[in-house]
Amino acid sequence: MEDCIFCKIIKGEIPSFKVYEDDMVFAFEDINPISEGHTLLIPKIHAQDLWEIPDEDLAAVHLASKKIIQAIKDVLNPTGVACLQLNGRGVNQVVMHYHLHLIPRTAGGPEIPVCAWELKEGDMEAIKQTADKIAAAIK
Strand-pairing partners, residue 81, are 104
| Residue 75 binds ligand AMP, judged by CB under 6 A | no
Point out which span in 12-20, 45-53, 87-95, 110-118 binds Zn ion (CB under 5 A).
Answer: 45-53
Backbone CA torsion sign across 83, 86, 91, 94 = positive
Torsion of CA 2, 98, 59, 39, to 10 degrees: 110
Asked if 14 is part of the footprint of ligand AMP (rule: CB under 6 A), the reply reads yes
Choosing from 38, 62, 97, 99, which is the catalytic residue? 99
38 binds Zn ion (CB under 5 A): no
Q: Which does 1 bind (CB under 5 to 8 A by kind): ligand AMP, Zn ion, none?
A: Zn ion
Which ranges of 20-87 does DSSP label H, i.e. alpha helix? 55-76
